[in-house]
Structure 1
Amino acid sequence: MQEIKIFQVDAFTDKLFRGNPAAVCILNEWRSDNQMQSIAAENNLSETAFVIKKNTGEYAIRWFTPTVEVNLCGHATLASAFVLFEFFEPDAKEILFVSPRAGNLSVRKTDQLLTLNFPTGTLRGAAIGEETINAMGMAPLEVYQGPSDLLLLFESQEQVALLNPNFPMLSKLLGTIGVIATAPGKGVDFVSRYFAPGEGIDEDPVTGSAHTLLTPFWAKRLKKELLTAKQISKREGHLICKLCDDRVEISGNAILFLAGSIFIE
Structure 2
Amino acid sequence: MKTYFVDSFTNQKFKGNPAAVCITDTSLDNETMQSIATEIGFSETAFIRKVVDNSYEIRFFTPKKEIPLCGHATLASSKIIFDLTTLQTINFRNIENVELKIQKAGEKIVMQFPVYETEEIAVPQKVLDALGIEQTLHTRFSPKNRIILIEIADSEKLAGLQPNFVELVQSYEGINGVLVTSQSNDPDFDFHYRYFWPWAGTNEDPVTGAVQTFLTKYWATRLGRNRLNAFQSSLRTGIMTTEYLQDKVLIYGEAVTVFEGEFKN
TM range (shorter): over 0.9
Alignment correspondent of 2:171: 173
- Residue 201 of structure 1 aligns to a residue whose secondary structure is coil
Q: Structure 1 residue 142 and structure 2 residue 142: aligned?
A: no
Letter in 2 for 1:249: L
Counterpart-to-counterpart distance in 1, 2:96 and 2:209? 16
Gaps of 5+ in 2: none
Gaps of 5+ in 1: none
The answer as to whether partners of 1:71 and 1:102 remain within 8 angstroms in 2 is no
Alignment correspondent of 1:93: 88
Residue 102 of structure 1 deviates from its aligned partner by 5.8
Residue 38 of structure 1 deviates from its aligned partner by 0.5
Residues 85-128 of structure 1 deviation map (CA, whole Å, 9 limit, x = unaligned): 101x2x21111100122600021110110011000111111101
Alignment correspondent of 2:43: 46
Alignment correspondent of 1:192: 193
Alignment correspondent of 1:238: 239
Counterpart-to-counterpart distance in 1, 2:158 and 2:23? 37
Alignment correspondent of 2:155: 157
Q: Structure 1 residue 125 and structure 2 residue 124: aligned?
A: no
Per mean C-alpha deviation after superposition, the further-off stretch among 23-32 and 94-103 is 94-103
4+ residue stretches of structure 1 with deviation over 6 A? none
TM-score normalised by structure 2 residue count = 0.95
Counterpart-to-counterpart distance in 2, 1:173 and 1:29? 41
Letter in 2 for 1:44: G
Letter in 1 for 2:94: S
Residue 135 of structure 1 deviates from its aligned partner by 1.2
Alignment correspondent of 1:108: 103
Per mean C-alpha deviation after superposition, the further-off stretch among 127-136 and 37-46 is 127-136
Q: Structure 1 residue 183 and structure 2 residue 182: aligned?
A: yes
- Residue 206 of structure 1 aligns to a residue whose secondary structure is coil
Residue 173 of structure 1 deviates from its aligned partner by 2.6
Alignment correspondent of 2:250: 249
Per mean C-alpha deviation after superposition, the further-off stretch among 54-63 and 22-31 is 54-63
The answer as to whether partners of 2:54 and 2:89 remain within 8 angstroms in 1 is no
The answer as to whether partners of 1:72 and 1:102 remain within 8 angstroms in 2 is no
Counterpart-to-counterpart distance in 2, 1:262 and 1:177? 29
The answer as to whether partners of 1:22 and 1:46 remain within 8 angstroms in 2 is yes
Residue 73 of structure 1 deviates from its aligned partner by 0.2
Letter in 2 for 1:181: V
The answer as to whether partners of 1:241 and 1:248 remain within 8 angstroms in 2 is yes
Counterpart-to-counterpart distance in 2, 1:170 and 1:30? 36
Residue 43 of structure 1 deviates from its aligned partner by 0.5
- Residue 198 of structure 1 aligns to a residue whose secondary structure is coil
Residues 147-198 of structure 1 deviation map (CA, whole Å, 9 limit, x = unaligned): 2101000001012112111112211233442111100111300000000001
